[in-house]
Structure 1
Amino acid sequence: MSTTVAPLLVELFVEELPPKALRALGEAFAQGLADGLREQGLLAPDAVVTPYASPRRLAAHLSAVRAQAEDRAVQLKLMPVAVGLDAQGQPTPALLKKLAALGVDTAEPAALVARLRRQSDGKAEVLYWDSVVAGATLAAGLQKALDEALRRLPIPKVMTYQLADGWRNVHFVRPAHALVALHGTAVVPVQALGLSAGRHTHGHRFEAARDPIEIPHADAYAETLAREGAVIAHFGERRAEIERQLAAAAARVGGGCRPIQDDALLDEVTALVERPNVLVCQFDEAFLAVPAECLILTMKANQKYFPLLDAQGRLTHRFLVVSNITPADPSAVITGNERVVRPRLADAKFFFDQDRKRPLESRVLGLAKVVYHNQLGTQGERVERVAAIGRAIAAQLGDATLERHVDRAALLAKADLLTDMVGEFPELQGTMGRYYALHDGEDPLVAEAIEDHYKPRFAGDALPRNPVGVCLALADKLETLVGLFGIGSLPTGDKDPYALRRHALGVVRMLIERDLPLALPALLDAAVPVFGDRIRDPREALTAFIYERLHNWIESEWVHPAGPAAGREAGGSSAAAGYAKHEIDAVLALRPAQLREVPRRLAAVRAFAALPEAPALAAANKRVTNILRKADAPVQPVVDAARLVEPAEQALYRALQDVQPQADAAYAAGDYTASLQRLAALKAPVDAFFDGVMVNADDPALRANRLGLLALLHGAMNRVADLSRLAA
């Protein structure tokens, strides 16, 4: 058997692939091939998998692939001996049928019996058939892996096209025109999408040195394409080359200019070119009178250009184009791109000028004609609800001026949805509202709030800049959450069409990172009534949902060595890094009404867990919790000192009388760490109590008094967190 190991190269040459999906397609194609070959024993353990993806190709290079997999021993469990062999020890018809189905020659039953192995499976003696299966050949194994890899590609939209024979149809992301499969220098005879594998591919449409291009060896793929095909096949290398050229072009412009940072745009442009060539272009400086956000979005979204910013971060009248051709004289390419962008910018300027002819407030009435949700009414009705919630939040913060600003900002917040600019570029909602509000002479705090009430828009996004924006953003997100939960539109699995998880996390982040003295139940109490009878009361489900998002956020985001910024701003510490699940559970089990307390409670639990008394107290607390849960009726924390007859229960009561006031005082002062640390003094009396006192005494009065003592202990120990969650 051949055990030749050599590099393998597989390339599928196709028509232009969808740019936003290219990187994922390339990685999935390579991984799919690697997984398929690995499952069949054809991929060497130390093999390196390199994906390639360009606008017109998906390819994978695997550094060490066997020509044939090693033979493998197979042990097949057949049936119990009593079923497979008769009284004379000969194969029964059932056994012969089973072996025949496995491809075993059953012509000589006696020889079969000699090859059978008997072994107990713990219940009965069972017959086994041992054999050796020949390892898969690369041709067969690669065909199987290739078919499966293509079947599992994350294709955004499948095309159907006809092969050259005029009879067969193929379903794929784009029409395929060539297939390369090389094991070392040898072509592997596989087929896919109506193509047979060879060693020829194609390079750049216009700048390849020859066509077709012959790949002599699997290891020569990338170098041959670059030299003869004018193609940088590796996505990452092409992306890095674009970044290098962008920086170099900005440096040539001078003045500290830099291209705008946008990873999604960079990925998309990388997927559009095979050999990048960055050129510097410019537009009329008069267009800089239009808000920079409009110009930047126009250039990025429509033309895939990289706007240039100056040293102060202001937009300049120059931009960078990533061309797919490298002519000796690039002037025609530069002029062409400058000519193309001008009408785009002119449209933006026209929208901006037209929109400012009407005050933002004049558009508010039009929101009554815009449907928000068929069960929740129009955008006009939504504006009224958000304003009512926003006023209630401002009132809870005790600021009449803030309340007026929030009310005004809520009235105008959605008005820019009816402007021409936002109609053309929905991504600018809020941003244009700020510009138009400032143009109308609105208070700058109100204008900023109009833009910021959508924040945070995504994970890691900035929060609103001022208190007006925070109140309005909270009101907007609470209105969305309460309304959609109230009509039963909840997220399911990975589906969240209304981004309710993001809205809930936004509420959590603002309450914690802005250290707001707002209780979550009070916020929901303010939001639910504004819907009248349109919804069912969602408070219970929504509260659980918000605490779940908080739990996930702490687990996933609070892991940096310096601790979360939120924890530090709200009185936490760097110890907030890497909280264990049981620590988070201990705090959130109590569902603290004011979320701003969570960082300090977590820090307190972490400090308490480090005490030598902590394990014993946590275990005792868990025991107390279980005892109280099993009581016949709810137990009140009331103790009759005269009925404390055992020395251990008397000692515990005295210790509680001493410790509880200290712990309560620290708790009231917000020093949760000190509050928990006071409990360390209870370890000895608690241990003595459980060692020497029978809680469930026969005397009902005695039993009730001891349960009351445990309830008193339980209340004292669980104000900051449910310490029973810390027990092993």
Structure 2
Amino acid sequence: MTTKNLLVELFVEELPPKALKKLGESFAGTLAASLQAQGLAAADAVATPYASPRRLAVHLTGVASRAADRAVQQKLMPVAVALDAEGRPTPALLKKLAALGADASAVPELKRQTDGKAEALFLDKLMPGATLAEGLQKALDEAIAKLPIPKVMSYQLESGEGPDFRPGWTTVHFVRPAHGLVALHGADVVPVAALGLQSGRETHGHRFEAAADPVVLQDADAYAGQLEREGAVIAAFEARRAEIARQLAAAAAQAGSELQPVRDEALLDEVTALVERPNVLVGRFEEAFLEVPQECLILTMKANQKYFPLLDRAGKLTNKFLIVSNIRPEDPSAVIGGNERVVRPRLADAKFFFDQDRKKTLESRVPGLAKVVYHGKLGTQGERMERVRAIAAALVAEVGKELGCERLPVEVDTAARLAKTDLLTDMVGEFPELQGIMGGYYARHDGLGEKVAQAIEDHYKPRFAGDELPRHLGGAIVALADKLETLVGLFGIGQLPSGDKDPFALRRHALGVIRILTEQRLSLELEPTLRAAAQVFGERITDPTPALSDFIYERLAGSLREQGYSAQEVDAVLALRPQRLREVGERLAAVRAFAALPEAAALAAANKRVGNILKKAEGAVEPRVDAALLKEPAEAALAEALARVKPRADAAFEGGEYTESLRALAALREPVDAFFDGVMVNAEDAALRANRLGLLATLHAAMNRVADLARLAA
């Protein structure tokens, strides 16, 4: 059967830019998958998605005009219902066969098979393959229905076909009004319909710069080339994105040898979804605006104007920016001038907010926090601030035991008291993304010192996966206190994440706590820290420590697996729920080194066996051994080996040498194997049995200080 390439395009009004990439991928993927499922396209058919501001399209290779016929076996009914006592077909069977286009002559060919409950009759028949028109109609309907549309529009059709069509009254629901449908199988139009449109071969290019309108497509393979030549449109999202990135780099180099545009993948995606024929130009603004914090200027240019600010080699903002225009005039000065006029008021607003905010100190804004509701059950931002201060003070008292930093308590308390005050500033009111950042600038302006300013700025960190951590200990403590207050408070009132819903970003906060404790090497113990934070809330909440501790260990386990540790390694370490999370990395390294030893597998299996024996023992088993009751040579040898190895392993453990601690245990393999070969643990004599269980309990305790080695057993 011959095949041809297929092209399907929906031509619409401007699609929502932040959703365009997903819409294009979904449309192409669903349509291709449906045709493959119907046997009209091979499993290795290549689907190429196209998505521009005014079109969704897909090019699919190797599509047949008709699917191959296929043999199917259809269950009819139980034999007891289909045949009478003499084996003749019943009226029910004949009626069923007639509905399937067969008659009584087919009865001898029916197969008897058990369907799991009773013997039934089955009919083998050949189903004709779907035509491309039928299959594509089904695939197109499915692709449109499954589009991840952020918000559906309703509009009325002005033209259409069919007896039920009424101009201006027939309503369509779609992401944007659709104006054209193309369906080409090679050079042939496939007759399908969607959204009140009939398929054809005409599409449209750029609104202003197309060389031809409409663009009459020659065949499926000519789509991208014709649109670029005649329609002045780069139809493929990725190709357009790559072209914009290329032009951004070239324009930056032309504007200054050491200049580079701000890296922002989300902005690049959004701009790609806004233009069909990108043209990057260089704009400028007055250098006086550079007195405003560059984060403010960068954010307003990116968020409001979709510009790419230019930075120098040191990462400092310059007064130049890149414009991604959708037109290519011979003289671009008007386009550049227009954009420069548009950005100026935005920058002026930012300067005004910055100047106004600095007229009030952060300290003077503290009373205003009492007027801002944080949560209906947890009070105001003022109350929250006091809780963060209390938690931070407890953390300082604990951490300060080993560090002895004299200024730390004052710096941490000042930062914790003022950290949320920038929420009341005009700049953060306009740009919420700048909270914390602006607090740092205003703290410097108020003369609070660099340590306090950095702690205020850093207390939201890490904001996302891979984000940097607070720059110094004070900032780390304030950030930790802020995240603990959020987690403990919301868990304490039952506001837990559910499925993919996490409105308070508690998963992100938990990962932030984990990273601060592990990467900044804080010696805090997790559950005592959670309980101390819960006490700060008084009667407002129920102590959430058990559930919250589980939640944090689950996040930690997932994070470690993403870092490349095996599930066995992670389970072995976290089964002991180590309270100092900073030790987890060293324990994992020790487990990995132990697992590589030739004795590891046997010891892990023995450890698992010991654990099972101790679980089945009646009552609690004390790890205690009476040498006088060691009757068998193998148990005496194990006790002697334990007495020799355990002190060395314990000393290494106490010194944080976890790898050495586990390596010392390797010497126990032979005496452990000999013990299980030659000693009956559950002896008739109660005293002997208790002593042997005590010996195993001593062994179990010695082997499982770094990790639960039984988790390494196959």
TM-score by length of 1: 0.95
1:394 is displaced (CA, Å) by 1.3
- Match for 1:340: what amino acid? V
Residue among 327, 343, 346 paired with 2:345: 343
Question: Does the 8 Å contact 1:255/1:310 carry over to 2?
Answer: no
Q: Within the alignment, does 1:127 sit opposite 2:118 as a pair?
A: no
Residue 400 of structure 1 deviates from its aligned partner by 3.9
* Aligned equivalent of 1:699: 685
Letter in 2 for 1:521: E
1:494 aligns with 2:497: no
CA 259–699 in structure 1, closer or farther in 2 if over 3 Å, else same: same
Residue 2 of structure 2 corresponds to which residue in structure 1?
Answer: 4
- 1:79 Cα shift? 3.9
1: CA distance, partners of 2:117 / 2:440: 77
Q: 2 CA distance for matches of 1:444 and 1:484?
A: 32
**Residues 1:590 and 1:153: Cα distance change in structure 2 (over 3 Å):** same
1:703 deviates by: 1.6
| Per-residue deviation, 1:124 | 6.0
Shift of 1:636: 1.2
The CA distance in 1 between the partners of 2:475 and 2:263, in whole Å, is 26
Match of 2:711 in 1: 725
Structure 1 position 638 matched with structure 2 position 624: yes
Q: 1:143 pairs with 137, 140, 161, which one?
A: 137
Deviations 1:466-493 (A, max 9, x none): 1111011100000000000000000011
2:154 corresponding residue in structure 1: 160
**Shift of residue 45 of structure 1?**
3.0
Structure 1 residue 88 displacement after superposition: 2.4
1:543 matched to 2:541? The reply is no
2:164 alignment counterpart: none
How far 1:189 moved relative to its partner?
0.3
* Partner residue in 1 for 2:676: 690
Q: Match of 1:629, as an amino acid? A: K
User: What secondary structure does 1:41 align onto?
Assistant: coil
Structure 1 residue 80: Cα displacement: 4.3
- Contact between 2:154 and 2:173, CA under 8 Å: does it hold in 1? yes
Question: Which residue pairs with 1:561 in the alignment?
Answer: none
1:249 corresponds to: 251
TM-superposed CA distance for 1:221, in Å, is: 0.3
The yes-or-no answer on 1:656 pairing with 2:642 is: yes
Offset at residue 219 of structure 1 (A): 0.2
Please give the alpha-carbon distance, in whole angstroms, between the structure 1 residues aligned to 2:473 and 2:515. 14
Asked if the contact 1:52–1:235 (Cα under 8 Å) also holds between the matched residues in 2, the reply is: yes
Look up the SS of the partner of 1:385 in the other structure.
Answer: helix
CA distance in 1, matches of 2:372, 2:408: 29
For residues 374-523 of structure 1, the aligned pairs below 5 Å read 374-398=376-400, 399-523=405-529
CA contact (8 A) 2:182 2:200 kept: yes
Quick check: 1:43 aligned with 2:41?
Answer: yes
Give CA deviations for 1:592-638 in whole Å, capped at 9, x if unaligned: 01011111110111111111111111111111111111222121111
The residue aligned with 1:573 is none
How far, CA to CA, are the matches of 1:645 and 1:104 in structure 2? 85
Instruction: Give the aligned residue type for 1:517.
Output: S
Q: CA deviation at 1:646?
A: 1.6
Residues 47 and 62 in structure 1, CA contact (< 8 A), matched pair in contact too: yes
Aligned to 1:562: none
Amino acid aligned to 2:479: A
Whole-angstrom CA distance in 2 between matches of 1:219 and 1:105: 44
Structure 1 counterpart SS, 2:496: coil
In structure 2, relative to structure 1, the CA distance for the partners of 1:231 and 1:528 (3 Å cut) is: same
> Which has the higher mean CA deviation after the structures are superposed, 184-193 or 682-691?
682-691
Say which SS state the counterpart of residue 147 (structure 1) adopts: helix
Corresponding residue SS for 1:189 = coil
TM-fit CA distance, 1:402:
1.2
- Deviation at 1:700? 2.0
Deviations 1:119-171 (A, max 9, x none): 45687654221111011100000000000110000000000000112121000
2:176 equivalent in structure 1: 174
Pairwise mapping of residues 483-632 of structure 1 onto structure 2 (< 5 A)? 483-556=489-562, 558=563, 578-632=564-618
Alpha-carbon separation, structure 1, partners of 2:538 and 2:119: 72
Q: CA deviation at 1:376?
A: 0.4
Contact 1:255 1:311 in 2 (8 A): no
Alignment-derived partner of residue 93 in structure 1 = 91
Code of the residue aligned with 1:157 in structure 2: it is K
Rounded Cα–Cα distance in structure 2 between residues aligned with 1:171 and 1:632: 69
* Matching residue of 1:64: 62
Question: Secondary structure, in 3 states, of the residue corresponding to 2:539?
Answer: coil
The equivalent of 2:225 in structure 1 is: 223
Contact residue 73 and residue 132 of structure 1 kept, 8 A: yes
1:211 partner SS: coil
CA distance in 2: counterparts of 1:599 and 1:245, whole angstroms: 44
Q: 1:269 aligns with which of 268, 271, 275?
A: 271
Shift of the alpha carbon at 1:707? Answer: 1.2
Give the AA of the match of 2:252.
A
Cα deviation, residue 580, structure 1: 1.2
Q: Which amino acid aligns with 2:422?
A: D
3-state DSSP of counterpart to 1:206: coil
Find the aligned partners of 1:419 and 1:118 in 2 and give their Cα distance: 80
Distance 1:644 1:300 in 2: 77
The alpha-carbon distance between structure 1 residues 49 and 521, as it changes in their structure 2 partners (threshold 3 A), is same
C-alpha distance in 2 between matches for 1:289 and 1:598: 45
SS of 2:48's equivalent? strand
The one-letter code matched in structure 2 to 1:625 is: G
Secondary structure of 1:533 counterpart: helix
Q: What displacement does 1:375 show?
A: 0.4
For 1:654, what is the secondary structure of its paired residue?
A: helix
1:397 aligned counterpart, secondary structure: helix
Which of 101, 104, 110 is the aligned partner of 2:101?
104
Q: 2:110: which partner in 1?
A: 116
- Amino acid of the structure 2 residue aligned with 1:586: A
Report if the CA contact (8 A) 2:531-2:543 is conserved: no
Q: Aligned pair count?
A: 702
Report the counterpart of residue 357 of structure 1 in structure 2: 359
**1:85 shift after superposition:** 2.4
**Equivalent pair of 1:511/1:518 in contact (CA under 8 Å):** yes
SS of the residue corresponding to residue 551 of structure 2 reads helix
The alpha-carbon deviation at position 94 of structure 1 amounts to 3.6
- How far apart, CA to CA, are the structure 2 residues paired with 1:182 and 1:689? 77
Letter in 1 for 2:414: R
- SS of the aligned residue for 1:47 comes to coil
Cα distance in 2, alignment partners of residues 401 and 533 from structure 1:
33
Secondary structure at the counterpart of residue 179 of structure 1: strand
The residue aligned with 2:185 is 183
Alpha-carbon distance in 2 for matches of 1:302, 1:339: 14
CA distance in 2, matches of 1:257, 1:680: 59
**In 2, Cα distance between the equivalents of 1:540 and 1:335?**
61
Contact 1:4 1:68 (8 Å CA) reproduced:
no
Unpaired segments ≥5 residues, structure 1: 559-577
Shift of 1:500: 0.4
**Aligned equivalents of 2:132, 2:37: Cα separation in 1:** 12
Distance 1:286 1:353 in 2: 13
1:100 CA drift (Å):
3.7
Match for 1:28: what amino acid?
A: S
Distance of 1:252 and 1:648 partners within structure 2: 82
Instruction: Report the AA paired with residue 375 of structure 1.
Output: K
